[in-house]
Structure 1
Amino acid sequence: MPHHDLAAELLSGFFLLLEEDPPEVIFLVGPNHEAAGPPVITGRRPWQTDFGLVEVDPGAVDALVGLGLAAVEEDVLAREHAMGTLMPYIKFHAPEARVVPLILHRGLSRADLERLAGALAAELGPGRILVASVDFSHYLTRPEAEAMDRETLATITAGDLDRLLQMGPEHLDSPGSVAVLLTAMAAAGADGPTVLGHTNSGAILRDDLIETTSYFTFVFTHR
């Protein structure tokens, strides 16, 4: 799902689906835009929103830290909009849900991403979901963005992690987050992805000349 407020319609549509069966825990993985701190960052502080606090699941955070898969770095995490943008939606649509925030540097190895994905897959189950907070093509015109998005979606649908991890911001801002999602979903035996929505900022603003950011929402479901 996206992490720009401009894509609010896609965000709201996704979270309205969650209202039907609100999760208890949301594992939330996304980019570290600042590229600051350790390779994978998490934290234990709650997130303040206009609708109240979003609490963190301390047991899950401690488990990932204990396995050496993430490190706590509260200040970097607090500044990351890939996490912060989603917290009001989470609190409004799934008010009792706890989160496990994880932000990733670019350049993590496939082996490191697979280890993280394996640990997350083991934590999933009824009431416990994994969400990737990712924006797709950047800095392109609307037609260029739509062509690039078709290429990225084909790579994701094929599960081609090697190709995915070679992609730059012209395709998406966090290949590692999507790789973690794909690997965890395969380990969990899920079907997908099913695309719920796709657009870009040029389409939203009705301007084909601006540099765009593109957005997808897609889901995996239990077999």
Structure 2
Amino acid sequence: MKRFVTMEKVIECRQARLSVLALLLILTVGNMDARIRKPAVAGQFYEANAAQLHKDLQTYFGKYAAVKGSRTIQAVIVPHAGYVFSAGVAASAFARIAPDADYEHIFLLGPSHHVYLDKASVAGGYDYYATPLGNLKVDTALCARLIEGCEAFCFDERAHRQEHSLEVQLPFLQYRLKRVPPIVPIVVATQSHERLRQIAKALKPYLNARNLFVVSSDFSHYPSYQDAKRVDALTADAILTGRTQDFIGQLAANERLGIDSLATSACGEAAIATLLMMTEGDDAIRIRHLEYRNSGDSPYGGRHRVVGYHSFAFSREAGFRLTDEDKAELKKIARESILATFTGKRYQPHGLSQTLRQRCGAFVSLHKHGLLRGCIGHFGEDYPLFEIVEKMAKAAAFEDPRFPKVSRQELPELDIEISVLTPMRRIHDLSEFILGRHGIYIRKGYHSGTYLPQVAEEVNWTKEEFVSHCSHDKAGLGWDGWKTAELYVYEAIVF
């Protein structure tokens, strides 16, 4: 059967073609108008050819093929050197992120190698960041809100044009994630702690499960191979405490070590400090050290003057947490329990939260005019928390053999400090123990002993010395007894 095409059909087809051509023209003009930050170090720090770059990334990630990615990764700290030196370390962190993680934004924070602004430059002047693997959309509206809302932010193209610290992270994200959300590139071009606090305060509302923070930093610059391993280990331990002051203080201490040719312990100091300012005090954040190497481990690097590379993952995990209401109730239980003893009665709390009914240990310390007046604790997990605090408060007041019993007249003069010990977790390697954050509990047969986390603030021990002293002084197992004992870690919530 012959088919006939009507004039109306011809016109309809022509109109459709014109519509497609018009759309293509609009898209072309739109792309011509787009402000694209072109790659500055492709072909230098990493491969400029897309196919070869993809193949290189496949190799770097291949080592971590067995790693199960998580959707709870909140932030990573990764190096930004040439891929032949540091890409394996960077991949160890990006591999921790689930490929199908559905983030709303990715915030990139890195140091400025070219300009000092006494501010952080947010890349709101670009619509896209380009790499050989394609363009990544910049959330210009969010960039604008940050700049408008905080004087510590600005946009200065000089900070971005040749800066490699953020650029080299982008291909990792493009390779790892099925969908890369809009990015917020931030070059931190200040060392002012006041400025960093402003930046951290402005960014902290975005520190949640919906967003990922990528913090870019290399570590020791230009010491010898062995000196780099030494100083980089000290810096890593400081980061693992989660405390900004510990990190900054360790960098200053590293300078005083007199290590030959050590130019810096962390070129991304400001970016790392900003992240720690945001995460410090967040009980749900867990920091893990993943990999360490330095340029001397690469076949392309010597061992006389090296650069160090660490990777860390910050994850958000459900864990033991005390609300302000929980803390207030425990303080009330402690004081009222002591008071009730004078009347021969027992204080009966009501409306306790589920957390206060959880079984864990606690210490109660009494101070009078700043001096210790009694301290007793229970380390086991055989009583509910509210009951342990009641028992330990009365024991600190009336059973500490170092002090006379507390009188009723003294009670108004006493300050009560409570240290709640989170549930213990078995560890199998000392690398899982974070000095200053974790308490250690050592057990072997009938021998056991513990040091609270805050003991680390009173002594100048390495983590190995800390555990050895606990083994010898507390558990009675000798200096090396911990090596064949069961090790547990816990944290103390002190208030």
Could you tell me the TM-score, scaled by structure 2's length? 0.42
Alpha-carbon distance change, 195 to 107 in structure 1, aligned in 2, over 3 angstroms:
same
The answer to which of 120-129 and 182-191 deviates more is: 182-191
Q: Tell me, what secondary structure is at the counterpart of 1:194?
A: strand
Q: What aligned pairs does 1:105-184 form with structure 2 within 5 A after superposition?
A: 105-108=189-192, 110-158=193-241, 159=243, 160-163=246-249, 166=252, 169-184=263-278
RMSD: 2.2
Cα shift readout 1:168-204 (whole Å, capped 9, x = no counterpart): 7431102111111111122654423201111111012
Q: Hey, what does 1:53 align to over in structure 2?
A: 135
Amino acid at match of 2:272: V
Aligned length: 222
Cα shift readout 1:32-70 (whole Å, capped 9, x = no counterpart): 011344521111211111111011122321121012231
**Per-residue deviation, 1:20:** 4.7
Amino acid at match of 1:17: R
Q: 2:272 aligned with 1:192, yes or no?
A: no
CA contact (8 A) 2:118 2:191 kept: no
Q: Tell me, what secondary structure is at the counterpart of 1:103?
A: strand
Q: Distance in 2 between matches of 1:126 and 1:72?
A: 27
Picking from 59, 69, 86, the partner of 1:7 is 86
Q: 2:113 aligned with 1:33, yes or no?
A: yes
Q: Distance in 2 between matches of 1:75 and 1:15?
A: 28
CA contact (8 A) 1:38 1:71 kept: no
Q: Distance in 2 between matches of 1:107 and 1:186?
A: 19
Q: Hey, what does 1:202 align to over in structure 2?
A: 296
Picking from 9, 24, 35, the partner of 2:104 is 24
CA contact (8 A) 2:219 2:264 kept: yes
Q: Tell me, what secondary structure is at the counterpart of 1:131?
A: strand
Amino acid at match of 1:7: S
**Per-residue deviation, 1:206:** 7.8
CA contact (8 A) 2:221 2:306 kept: yes
Picking from 169, 173, 190, the partner of 1:90 is 173
Picking from 119, 123, 144, the partner of 1:43 is 123
Picking from 52, 57, 63, the partner of 2:145 is 63
Alpha-carbon distance change, 161 to 13 in structure 1, aligned in 2, over 3 angstroms:
closer
**Per-residue deviation, 1:12:** 2.2
Structure 1 residue runs without a partner (length 5+): none
**Per-residue deviation, 1:164:** 5.0
Q: Tell me, what secondary structure is at the counterpart of 1:220?
A: strand
Q: Distance in 2 between matches of 1:209 and 1:13?
A: 23
Q: Tell me, what secondary structure is at the counterpart of 1:212?
A: coil
Q: Tell me, what secondary structure is at the counterpart of 1:139?
A: coil
**Per-residue deviation, 1:161:** 4.6
Amino acid at match of 1:3: H
Alpha-carbon distance change, 126 to 98 in structure 1, aligned in 2, over 3 angstroms:
same
Q: Distance in 2 between matches of 1:176 and 1:3?
A: 15
Could you tell me the TM-score, scaled by structure 1's length? 0.89
Q: Tell me, what secondary structure is at the counterpart of 1:195?
A: strand
Larger relative contact order (C-alpha < 8 A, sep ≥ 6)? 1
Q: Distance in 2 between matches of 1:40 and 1:174?
A: 13
Q: Hey, what does 2:188 align to over in structure 1?
A: 104
Q: Distance in 2 between matches of 1:59 and 1:187?
A: 30
Q: Hey, what does 2:476 align to over in structure 1?
A: none
CA contact (8 A) 1:141 1:208 kept: no
**Per-residue deviation, 1:77:** 0.8
Q: Distance in 2 between matches of 1:207 and 1:32?
A: 24
Cα shift readout 1:99-157 (whole Å, capped 9, x = no counterpart): 1111123422x222122112211012223021210000010111000001112112222
CA contact (8 A) 1:164 1:179 kept: no
Q: Distance in 2 between matches of 1:207 and 1:76?
A: 28
Structure 2 residue runs without a partner (length 5+): 1-77, 256-262, 318-495
